[in-house]
């Protein structure tokens, strides 16, 4: 974020490790992802929806809550993909997260009628979530984060 009146100097977020719950939401052989763009890398990427785990909340509970807040639909956790440590740079700033990844599906009656992009909210900030064909995500056609997510998801799909 930019510092107000500070001659254009850039302030960085405090350096800390964030605990996140991510919902890999599957529907009609597609996966719902937030669309992102890193201006420093010149890279378009996708990431499952989700967010911070609140104090006293279980990671799976956080994934379900985050989806309800972001897209206004109820989801259920189907399986855990595992926990990963994600150290990265985004727009030139370092980040560090511990990500709990869950395969999720819509709760009965909460399914959308189609695969149109979804306008989602993160706090007061809106963003677009897109349905990517699962086969394309698993095949690497889309840059998906956290690192290694397509491989973990492929392992789960192959175990069915």
Strand partners of residue 48: 33
Domain assignment of residue 123, yes or no: yes
Q: Where are any strands of DSSP class E within 2-153?
A: 18-27, 30-38, 43-52, 75-90, 93-106, 118-122, 125-133
CA dihedral 53, 57, 59, 61 (to 10 degrees): -110
State the residue range of the domain holding 37.
Answer: 18-107+115-158
CA dihedral 140, 141, 142, 143 (to 10 degrees): 50
pLDDT single digits (tens) 44-58: 999 999 999 999 999
The percentage of residues in the chain with a pLDDT greater than 70, rounded to a whole number, is: 91
Enumerate the H helices of 10-138 as residue ranges. 59-71, 134-138
Confidence class for position 12, pLDDT limits 50, 70, 90: low
pLDDT single digits (tens) 28-45: 999 999 999 999 999 999
Domain assignment of residue 125, yes or no: yes
Contacts of 115 (CB under 8 A, 6+ apart): 27, 28, 30, 131
Domain assignment of residue 11, yes or no: no
Distance CA 155, CA 160 (A): 9
Contacts of 114 (CB under 8 A, 6+ apart): none
Q: Quote the pTM value.
A: 0.87
Q: What CATH number has the domain bearing residue 46?
A: 3.90.79.10
Domain assignment of residue 1, yes or no: no
Total count of domains within the chain: 1
The string of DSSP codes covering 6-31 is STTPBP-----PEEEEEEEEEETTEE
Distance CA 100, CA 20 (A): 6
Domain assignment of residue 47, yes or no: yes
């Amino acid at each position: 974020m930019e510092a107000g009146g500070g001659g254009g100097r850039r302030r960085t977020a405090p350096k800390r490790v964030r605990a996140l719950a991510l919902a890999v939401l599957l529907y009609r052989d597609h996966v719902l992802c937030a669309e992102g763009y890193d201006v420093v890398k010149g890279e378009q990427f996708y990431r499952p929806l989700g967010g911070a785990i609140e104090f006293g909340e279980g990671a799976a509970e956080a994934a379900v809550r985050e989806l309800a807040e972001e897209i206004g639909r109820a989801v259920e956790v189907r399986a855990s993909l595992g926990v990963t440590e994600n150290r990265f740079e985004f727009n030139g700033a370092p980040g560090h997260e511990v990500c709990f990844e869950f395969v999720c599906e819509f709760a009965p009656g909460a399914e959308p009628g189609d695969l149109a992009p979804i306008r989602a909210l993160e706090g007061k900030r809106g963003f677009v979530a897109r349905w990517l064909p699962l086969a394309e995500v698993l095949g690497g056609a889309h840059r998906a984060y956290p690192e290694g997510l397509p491989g973990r998801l492929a392992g789960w799909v192959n175990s069915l």
